[in-house]
Structure 1
Amino acid sequence: MTPISPKLQRRPRWRLHPKLVPYVLLAPFVLLFFIFGLFPLLFSLFLAFQSWEPTSGLANMSYVGLDNFIFTLEDEWFWKSIKNTFWLAAVSGIPQHLIAIPLACVIHAQFKRTRNATVGAYFLPYITSTVAIAMMFSTLFSTDYGLINQVIAGAAQLPLIGSFFPQQPIDWLGESEFIKPAISFVVFWRYVGFNTVLYLAALQTIPKDMYEAATMDGASRWNQFWYITLPSLKPMIYFGVTLTLIGGLQLFEEPFILTGGRGGSDQSGMTTAMYMYRTAFDFNDFGTASALSWILFVFVAVLTWLTNLAFKPKRGET
């Protein structure tokens, strides 16, 4: 008989204390946040008070105090970009919600069987590549062969109403008076479906009992919409308007691609984000661009706060 081998002594395995598990799991996120989130934020604040060109190296920074902020606030291009940004945000943003709310109500009430397909069709522009959308509309707005100019040319030949349309093709992306309306239409077309989906989701949370009780009391459809639907949508309206406001003030991709990155004729399509980009990468002035980014942050914060005040429930409201 072979002797029984002695039991091998097991090595104690290293185990993590349960209290440390959450910190270990959060460590990768915290590390990435510090590298790609907090550090760029603090570095941009540091650059806002420096004069620096990246090609000269980090050692050639020089402290300039508030000069970058003063230069930005005195620059004519900055205030023109602010006006363009607010114009585009208002003209493209307000119609989004004025159309999305009734559109969501119609889809919610009438498209019960095909609701998912309808929502998908309206949501598709939002998830489509911005570059693809801008290139598509660049073709539609073309002076020579664009579909929009062809439709206008056909309408100009009609009796009675033909005199209300221009007889020559419109240079939508070349003439300063047409650049902002063209960009606004593209932005509206892309995001109106997104807001429709938001309001449709909010409509599905409203109890049907409220409408049934209102119908039994003799309330009309308009009264039900005004006193039940609209107040119930108020939190979602606040959320949607806030997103539209922040997105409008940060508008960059659509005007950048449609105007070739230059802002169009007389800088009529240059937004504040485009001005910041050109300051950094065209003029190689990262200090002024950083100061501009913090000025834009203040604008966004103040307008978001004002929006919060506007939608804040009044005394007696739930």
Structure 2
Amino acid sequence: MIVSKKRFVSEEKKDMISAYLYVSPFFIIFSLVGLYPAVYSLYLAFQKWDGLAPMTFVGLDNFRVVLEDPLFWKSLYNTLIIGVMGTAPQLIVGIILAFLLNLAYLKLKQFFRVTIFMPYITSMVAVALIFSVIFSNHEASLANYTLSVFGFDPVNWKTSEWGTKIAISLMVFWRWVGYNTIIYLAGLQSISNEYYEAATIDGASKMQQLLHITLPLLRPFILLTVFFSTVGALQLFAEPTVFLGNNAFTRDEAMTVVMYLYRDAFRLQSFGTASATAIILLIFIVIASAINLLLTSRIGKKRGVRSE
């Protein structure tokens, strides 16, 4: 009996070691490309370093320099404005498109789903080229021609304050609306028709079914998209950088926080202030995500449908 017990414990330990070995690649890769850079960035935030000379401990000076820089607050303002203009509409339009794609009588569903999702998998360079042509400063560009049809003056999309923000926001919207639509569509298709049949029998209207059945059951998917959209909006970098090209880091109309961070690190060789900016951005992301999740978690939290 004693021998068999020892063998049992030995086999149990072998299984445990085997399990840890199977999952170890993930933790090793995460430690190298995720955890270590994050910890090192936190360390750099309290150092003065240009990438070559020895590091010098400066305490909270890097944070003071960043928070006292008007360009940082301008970049934060740009990030919030472009984020709201590009993110909020895509979530609303995504839900509407998901409802349309989920209609039983809609034909060519697969075609429309693939078409809507195509911008998400399109190369960022191709997207930037398309929008650079559409929002060219030339009077004959598609955007300016459309404005002229309605009697408006042409806009210098790449140099004006709001023209740049609108163009980049539309780029963000066009690229990500299909991604959110597919997530909402998956959520709608996971809702059983039995709920709607029971509500119809009880005399509930379509609006009541939407408010008391669809939105409450779709809430987890809404929370997911709001969280990812918030994080993505505050980390906006690729769209304005590619759209503005060489002028991206020399003008402040569309300078985002991540672009400000990148400029400090790789153009000014100030890795300390860049790391401090990353820590401040992380704090803003946590706060903004918490607020958005708190607001969106209330969606659909109403009393159920009452039978008449």
TM-score, with length taken from structure 2:
0.87
Are residue 177 (structure 1) and residue 169 (structure 2) matched?
Answer: no
Q: 1:276 aligns with which of 261, 264, 273?
A: 261
State whether structure 2 residue 104 is matched by structure 1 residue 114. Answer: no
What percent of counterpart residues are identical? Answer: 40
CA distance in 2, matches of 1:45, 1:265: 27
Q: Are 2:241 and 1:256 aligned? A: yes
- Residue 297 (structure 1) aligned to one of 275, 279, 282: 282
Q: Counterpart amino acid of 1:226?
A: L
Q: Relative to structure 1, is the Cα distance of residues 172 and 111 closer, same or farther in structure 2, using a 3 angstrom cutoff?
A: farther
**How many Å separate the matches in 2 of 1:264 and 1:17?**
56
1:222 aligns with 2:207: yes
Partner of 2:61: 67
Q: Which residue of 2 aligns with 1:150?
A: 145
Distance 1:213 1:26, change over 3 A: closer
Give the letter for the 1:148 counterpart: A
1:125 aligned counterpart, secondary structure: helix
Alignment of 1:178-217 (within 5 A): 178-217=163-202
Q: Which residue of structure 2 aligns with residue 158 of structure 1?
A: none
Shift of 1:239: 1.1
Who is 1:132 aligned against?
126
Partner SS state of residue 65, structure 1: coil
CA contact (8 A) 1:255 1:261 kept: no
Task: State which of 2, 17, 32 in structure 2 corresponds to 1:20.
Answer: 17
Contact 1:134 1:257 in 2 (8 A): yes
Amino acid at match of 1:34: S
When normalised by structure 1's length, the TM-score is 0.85
Question: What is the alpha-carbon distance in structure 2 between the residues aligned to residue 210 and residue 19 of structure 1?
Answer: 44
Selected match of 1:83 from 41, 53, 77 = 77
Give how far 1:68 is off.
Answer: 0.2
Number of aligned residue pairs: give it.
291
Which residue of structure 1 aligns with residue 8 of structure 2? none
Root mean square deviation, CA, Å: 2.3
Is the CA contact (8 Å cut-off) linking 2:117 and 2:179 kept in structure 1?
A: yes
The alpha carbon displacement at 1:94 in A equals: 0.9
Q: Which amino acid counterpart does residue 125 of structure 1 have in structure 2?
A: P
**Residue 74 to residue 241, structure 1, CA distance change in 2 (3 Å):** same
Q: Compute the displacement of 1:310 (Å).
A: 2.4
Counterpart Cα distance in 1 of 2:212 and 2:156: 46
Query: Residues 57-92 of structure 1, C-alpha deviation per residue, up to 9 Å, x if partnerless?
Result: xxx110000000011111100000010000011111
**Is the Cα–Cα contact under 8 Å of residues 85 and 251 in structure 1 kept in the other structure?**
yes
Write out per-residue CA displacement over residues 36-66 of structure 1, whole angstroms, 9 at most, x where no aligned residue: 221111111110000001133xxx1100000
For the residue of structure 2 that corresponds to 1:109, the secondary structure is coil
Larger Rg computed on CA atoms: 1
Superposed displacement of residue 170, structure 1: 2.0
2:5 match: none
Equivalent residue letter for 1:47: L
CA distance in 2, matches of 1:111, 1:90: 34
Query: CA shift at 1:217, angstroms?
Result: 3.1
**Structure 2: distance between partners of 1:100 and 1:257:** 25
Cα distance between partner residues in 2 of 1:281 and 1:196 = 36
> Per-residue displacement from partner, 1:73-125 (whole Å, max 9, x unpaired)?
11100000010000011111111111111211111015655222211111111
Which segment is superposed worse, 252-261 or 208-217? 208-217
